[in-house]
Structure 1
Amino acid sequence: MRPKMTQQQLADAACVALGTIRKIERGERGVTQATLEAIADALGIDPTRLLTDRGAAHTHVHEALPVLSAALATYDLPDDGPIRPTHELRAAVAEAARWRLAAQYTRIARKLPDLLTELARAYHAAPGAERPELAGLLVKGYRSADAVAYKFGAHDLSARLIELMRWAVPEAGDPLLSASVAYVRTETFFAARAHAAGLRLLEQAMDAAPAPAAPLEIAVKGALHMRAAVIAGRARDASAAVTHLNEASDLADRVAEDVYCGTAFGPDSVRTHQVSVAVSLGDAHVGRALDIAGEWKPPKDLPAERRSGFYIELARAQLWSGLADDAFESLKVARHIAPQHTREHPWVREDAATLRRLKRADSETLTNFAEWCSAT
């Protein structure tokens, strides 16, 4: 978010009348979608951050999913239209990746269909020498779109996006990008609860990935180990989970936290995965999640999606440990960090519903939260 702005500065940046800004802030008038988006862009935040307590903002994403699906249908036969220079397409794809890390799914759903269509158009129109980079941009664009599809429960659409990533990545000729696609592909195994098969896939990807010498190579290998630890935890394979976490930790000691190659990697990212694995393993392992959280909290420069995920996982560990009040506080922190990610997370709905049953006579804050995330 940008530094604090006066009402006049916000009005000027958003090209909205000062009187309109004042009336909206006082609650004296509603706000159209166009005005909401203009104000959000001026503030440098996702529009849903302004709608957290004002209705079902997540419906904007659901409504956009058919448009995204239609854009994918013509991946090999794009219609005629404008094509920006490659450097502009590169910048647009990078911006979409930043939205993904910040859990700004509304922006992705709104912008990616046209971008993916344009990328496909550019790829098919390009001479052979230019195609590898455009294929790589397609893979990265599909990845950002997949974040929306998967997080919002459109698993068939997510699987389609993953198949398109697998279609485009050979043309890119980038082994690091191939490893990144393998990382994302495990979503299909999570959705199908085929954890053992997903673990095999990741182990094959690790064998095929370049040796971890340079920072990007280390980050890719480390990310695969983090992912493998989580899916091993879901399979209740404690030995494999610990082995992969240790490998990830050793690799993280060799790079800074801000190394990014498809997913964030570094010591803090590994720490968040230690909590995730402990929760996945359950039972006697849950205390490990509480111990980590007692000593450490994710720093603000960690991607919002990852930070909110930490508190969602922690809330589950606290709930299982009988710490209902602490669990609710963690859910509220997750909501503050990344409202869309939190609202759409199935564990949030389950845990909010459980908290509501446990604390029937508690304040309306919990009731409001449960209704916000559609907990039943």
Structure 2
Amino acid sequence: MPTLDDDHTGTRIKEQRRLARLSQRELANRIPYSYSLLNQVECGARPASADFVAAVARALRVDVTVLTGQPYVTQLHQDRLADLVRPIREALDLYDLGPDPAVTTRTAGQLIAAADILCGQVRATHLHSAAAALPDAITELTTAAWRAPSTALWQALASTYRTAHDIAVKLGYYDLSSVALDRMDWAAQRASDPCVAAVRQYMRALVYFREGEYSIGRRLIVSGHRVLGQAAETRESLTVAGQLHLGASVIAARAEDETAVATHIAEAKSLARRVGDASDVHWLSFGPTNVAMHRMSAAVEMRHYDDALKLAKKIKPPASMATSRRAHFLIDRARSEMELGHTEASLKSLVAARRAAPEQTRYHPGARETIRGLVHASRRTPEALGGMASWVGM
């Protein structure tokens, strides 16, 4: 069995707790988890789930990334992804400078198509390709939109900002993701597009979901529905409304509000019946299957692992579903299996997630913590598990 490194979430929690001059008992009294679990997480005997980390981060008043250790710089350099972040950051800062006379842009049609391709690459989890092409797309679209403003160009620019957000989140650069969302709002206002604005509120809500600020996340979902009310009832607006309900369901699950979870899932299910598979709308993957996946994710967040696994076994993601969504589902399933002691099944789910979306899985803190839990639980670590642990940098 390999020796686990000492640089893990538990040790970072211990360090931040001590900096806050709190004992384990005092910190445990501030979070909705037991002293025993906190003790086990700090010493590395139990993995730190996302909900646990969010609760501790909120209690200690630090960012979640301080505890997770994101971004995982060593792996990012190994994958040649770290060098792609600064150009994205610089491109995001061009938004209010007007047209750049030194920039030659593609045609409007080509730029709009390029923005859509970038969204597709992220959903296919081709993060390196998307991150490499993104700065030029943002730069060209910024100049094009200033030179000849149009709704379509502002929408495309908002889309590239959304892609910047998605890439930043997946790679663990949450400060950059917040900047990208601000830029998305700036472009959406110029496009006068309530659907894009509502999608942005949905993404903002997920930021607060990760940070454990559930009341703010819920308010952002309400704001998204309010903004969406300015749009006509179309397949697009119904799809965005459904996705807002799905976001609300996992936020409610973290807040342990089972009634709200059931209400939002029911609303999303009703909308999914009306629009069918709407995965082509804003690349949201919305539809009946995604509703089922969120119902399972909500059970995971509420730590109802038996229910989550029963639901997971009924879900058969279609080949047409975005790879990023399928991989996220597999990581959620792996967590449930690990928590229930089904170690072989959990490893199988993680291997499937890696095979489908290697870049996403490698940088997913939930996958990393589940691997840590499996290694600790194994008397004799299988070669495949040891390989997974080494691959994520443990």
TM-score exceeds 0.5 = yes
2:336 is aligned with 1:309: no
Counterpart residue number, 2:181: 162
Tell me the CA shift for residue 56 of structure 1. 6.5
Aligned residue in 2 for 1:98: 120
8 A contact 1:272–1:306 mirrored in 2:
no
Shift of 1:146: 1.1
C-alpha separation in 2, matches of 1:57 and 1:252: 41
Question: Shift of the alpha carbon at 1:314?
Answer: 0.6
State the Cα distance separating 1:300 from its structure 2 match.
Answer: 1.4
Q: How far has the Cα of 1:360 moved from its partner?
A: 4.1
Name the CA distance, whole Å, in 2 between partners of 1:188 and 1:289. 23
Does 2:216 align with 1:178?
Answer: no
Q: How far 1:345 moved relative to its partner?
A: 0.6
Identify if the C-alpha distance between structure 1 residues 200 and 120 changes in structure 2 by more than 3 Å, giving closer, same or farther: same
Is residue 83–residue 118 contact of structure 1 (8 Å, CA) maintained in 2?
A: yes
The answer to whether the 8 Å contact 1:212/1:221 transfers is no
- Structure 2 partner of 1:88: 110
Given residue 222 of structure 1, which amino acid in structure 2 is its aligned partner? G
* Pair 1:209–1:369, CA change in 2 (3 A): same
Structure 1 residues 212 and 251: alpha-carbon distance in aligned structure 2, compared to 1, 3 A threshold: farther
Identity of aligned residues (%): 34
Q: State the Cα distance separating 1:57 from its structure 2 match.
A: 7.5
**Cα offset for 1:207?**
3.0
CA contact 1:230–1:280 (8 Å) conserved in 2: yes
**Whole-angstrom CA distance in 1 between matches of 2:339 and 2:134:** 39
Q: Greater CA deviation, 160-169 or 293-302? A: 293-302
Mapped to 2, the partners of 1:223 and 1:98 lie a distance apart of: 18
Question: Does residue 61 in structure 1 map to residue 92 in structure 2?
Answer: no
Within 5 Å, which residues of 2 pair with 1:1-376? 59-77=79-97, 79=100, 80-126=102-148, 130-210=149-229, 213-262=233-282, 263-282=284-303, 285-375=304-394
- CA distances 1:286-323 after superposition (whole Å, capped 9, x unpaired): 22211112222212111000000111001111111111
Q: Which runs of 5+ in 1 are unaligned?
A: 1-54
Separation in structure 2 between the aligned mates of residue 213 and residue 135 of structure 1, nearest angstrom: 22
* C-alpha distance 364-56 of structure 1, shift in aligned 2 (>3 A): farther
CA apart distance, 1:112: 0.1
Q: Unaligned stretches of 5+ in structure 2?
A: 1-74
Counterparts of 1:362 and 1:175, CA distance in 2: 51
Provide the C-alpha distance between the structure 1 equivalents of 2:286 and 2:160, rounded to a whole number of angstroms.
20
Residues matched between the structures, number: 316
- Whether the aligned pair in 2 keeps the contact of 1:219 and 1:260 (CA below 8 Å) is no
- Are the aligned partners of 1:155 and 1:191 in contact in 2 as well (CA < 8 Å)? no
2:331 and 2:349 in contact (8 A); partners too: yes
> What is the rounded CA distance, in whole Å, between the counterparts of 1:295 and 1:232 in structure 2?
23
Measured on the aligned residues, the alpha-carbon RMSD in Å equals 1.7
| CA–CA distance in structure 2, aligned partners of residues 346 and 162 of structure 1 | 22
SS in 2 for 1:265: coil
Distance in 2 between the 1:272 and 1:207 partners?
25
Deviations 1:247-290 (A, max 9, x none): 101111112214433212110111111111110111xx222211
* Normalised TM-score (structure 1): 0.80
- SS of the residue corresponding to residue 257 of structure 1 reads coil
Contact residue 239 and residue 286 of structure 2 kept, 8 A: yes
- Structure 1 residues 169 and 56: CA distance shift in structure 2, 3 A: closer
Q: Which moved more, 1:309-318 or 1:55-64?
A: 55-64
The one-letter code sitting in structure 2 at the alignment partner of 1:82 is: T
Cross-structure match for 1:48: none
TM-score, normalised via structure 2 length: 0.77
Q: C-alpha separation between the residues in 1 aligned to 2:78 and 2:263? A: 38
- Alpha-carbon offset, residue 197 of structure 1: 0.8
Q: Secondary structure at the match of 1:205?
A: helix
Distance in 1 of aligned mates of 2:379 and 2:296: 29
Q: Which residue in 1 is equivalent to 2:10?
A: none
Contact preservation (8 Å) 2:293, 2:312: no
For residues 75-104 of structure 1, the C-alpha deviation after alignment (integer angstroms, 9 at most, x for no partner) is 222532101111001110110011121111
Work out whether residues 122 and 166 of structure 2, in 8 Å CA contact, stay in contact via their aligned partners in 1.
yes
